[in-house]
Each structure stands twice: as structure tokens, then as C-alpha cells.
Amino acid sequence: MTTEARAALDALFAQLAITPVAIEHPPVHTVEEALPFWSVLEGVHTKNLLLKGAKGGLWLVCVPTDRRLDLKALAAHVGAKKFSFASSETLLEALGVIQGSVSPLALINDTANAVQLVLAKDMLAQPRITVHPLVNTATVSLTSDELVKFVTATGHSPDIVDFDTLASA
């Protein structure tokens, strides 16, 4: 992440009157690596996946770390034929972040509005959510309302999905 990207993130937080609770930690690439550091942060810890539709389109899916995803059901829900995981090149191009640093905060870099955000409904029902601030060497805790406010300010409209209903459909 460039210092410009971090400055833009901090500026948008300031503009929206959002003061996230933040921690710094060694680089983490998986949820398992991050969990020991996250234990000091209040909030639902997340996993974030950038998925590519078989016929194009990108979806950033943000769910609690313990959520199992039925990608077939999700693809049907959003109108995609099927999903594959986006390459690291696509991730960098679309969201300006590397693997391990993906989060809804990276939508600040999606000025073309090419990525559709999918948020888990049960996650948003919790008071706080933790995500990476464009790097995998820090994690921030935001209120659910602050996260949605931030995403909306980037010009994105999240698709809030009830994954329990989706799985049983």
C-alpha cells in the first residue's frame, strides 16, 4: 500500500467522523495466523474473498471467519453462472491490495465501481466488525454502521445476504 492510499483512507475516516480502534501486528496471510493478534480487538473477525464470475464481474464477499460459504448458492443469488477466486493480479488491479490485505476498506481504491460488495447479514447485526486497513500488518475495529457508512461513501451499495437462508434455499 502506498502512503497516498493510507492518507486517502485516513482522510475518508476523518470526513465521516470514524475513529477506528486499530492494532498493528506482524504480517498475516490467513485467518489462523491473525487470530492470536485479533483476540485483543472487539468485533466479529472477518474473512474476505474476491470472487470472479465465469462471465465477468467481481464480488468482494465479507463474512465472519467461521462462516462456511456455499459459492454455488451465492453465485445463483447474485446472478453469476459460477465463481472462481480472483488472481492476485486482479486483486491488485481492482482493489489496490495484495492477498491477505483484502477488506471492504479496499473499495476506496475501486473508483471504477467494478466490484460488488456482499456483506453477511448476521455479521452486520453485531456491534463491531474487524477488517484490515489495506495492509495485513494492521487490523481495525469499526461499528457495523461505520463500515456501511464507509462503503457507501466510496460509491458502493452492499448486497446484504442472509447466508443461513441462502444455504437452505
Domains belonging to the chain, first-starting first, are 3-168 (3.90.960.10)
Q: Residue 141: CB partners within 8 Å, gap ≥ 6? A: 20, 21, 22, 41, 42, 43, 128, 129, 130
HEC string for the chain: CCHHHHHHHHHHHHHCCCCCEEEECCCCCCHHHHHHHHCCCCCEEEEEEEEEECCCCEEEEEEECCCCCCHHHHHHHHCCCCEEECCHHHHHHHHCCCCCCCCHHHHHHCCCCCEEEEEEHHHHCCCEEEECCCCCCEEEEEEHHHHHHHHHHCCCCCEEECHHHHHHC
pLDDT for the residue numbered 168: 64
Amino acid at the residue 154 = T
pLDDT for the residue numbered 38: 87
pLDDT for the residue numbered 159: 96
pLDDT for the residue numbered 39: 87
pLDDT for the residue numbered 158: 96
| 61 neighbors 101 (Cβ within 8 angstroms) | no
Q: Residue 36: CB partners within 8 Å, gap ≥ 6? A: none
pLDDT for the residue numbered 4: 83
- The C-alpha cell of 165 is what? 437462508
Quote the pTM value: 0.93
CA distance 152 to 47: 20
Per-residue pLDDT of the chain (169 residues; tens, 9 = 90+): 567 888 899 999 999 999 999 999 999 888 888 888 888 899 999 999 999 998 899 999 999 999 989 999 999 999 998 999 999 999 999 999 998 899 999 999 999 999 999 999 999 999 999 999 999 999 999 999 999 999 999 999 999 999 988 866 5
Whose grid coordinates read 462462516?
67
